[in-house]
Amino acid sequence: MARIIGASDDAAWNTRTESDLSEITSPVRELISSQFYDGGLHDGQNILDRMNGTMTMQSKAFSPSILICDLGFGDAFFNPFQRSLENIQEAEATKCVYDFALQQLQADGRAITAKDVCVLCPYNRHKNRLRTVLAGIPEEDWSKYENFDYCAAIGDTSARMVARMDRVRNIDTVDKFQGSERDVVLLNTVVQHRPDRAADPHFINVACSRAKHLLVLVGQLSALAQQDPTWRKILEYGAEKMAAGGGGGG
């Protein structure tokens, strides 16, 4: 599964092009290798064995894929008290993508749950907004959920609370998540102008390399690509792989 989704004048989201990249070997690895390692990054034997093994995403034949959701809406807001950025519309769009991806992967027979999916971003304020939108955390309780043992601390180990905490643990900033991996990674860019942190090559490299199987990029990527060469190359990479898979433009 790999698609490029963009915005049009008459719809918030409009599927412009779609191509099956199942014949492309390790698109996530190829993206990282081409952008940050001059094409010198290759799958080791442990990765090859794992892809041929029985992992949570492997109940059906599965090739690592990239989904690019190029939004044409959403404004970043700077909170002067936390000195951090958030983009509420992008968080809401991410929830739609998150729910759809999880539903589709489960419908395809893959044993995947919220524990296998993470959502990452560059800013702490946006991380908290994502926890509200995706996990239902009230804004006034943001600080409480920084403690991942919160449900045990308050004596609530109900299935509902455990499910909520599974989502909370997997919504974080890229810096906090460095060193961890998930089968599916959704990355928010948050900003559309003056990309700064969202255009840091180290940030992009670390964020993308957290994905073991499916990488989903959500943000105003065309706007960022006009200002930043790394995002421009990523969109060009997506277009090249789309063409290689036989998809048409739109």
- The structure tokens listed for 192 are 């559309």
- The whole-chain average pLDDT of the chain stands at 77
Task: Tell which wins on pLDDT, 84 or 15.
Answer: 84
Question: Rounded mean pLDDT of 17-33?
Answer: 48
Is there a contact between 188 and 217 (Cβ–Cβ < 8 Å)?
no
pLDDT recorded at residue 186: 96
Is the pLDDT at 191 greater than 90, yes or no?
A: yes
Report the C-alpha gap between 163 and 167 in whole angstroms. Answer: 7
pLDDT tens-place string over residues 123-168 = 999 999 999 999 999 999 998 888 767 666 677 778 888 888 889 9
Find the distance separating the first CA and the last CA of the chain, reported in whole Å. Answer: 18
Best CA proximity match to 172, nearest among 161, 186, 160: 186
- The owner of tokens 């992008």 is 90
pTM for the model: 0.77
- The structure tokens listed for 98 are 């998150």
Report the C-alpha gap between 14 and 7 in whole angstroms. Answer: 5
Is there a contact between 126 and 98 (Cβ–Cβ < 8 Å)?
no
212: CB partners within 8 A, 6+ apart: 55, 57, 64, 181, 182, 183
3-state secondary structure of 127: helix
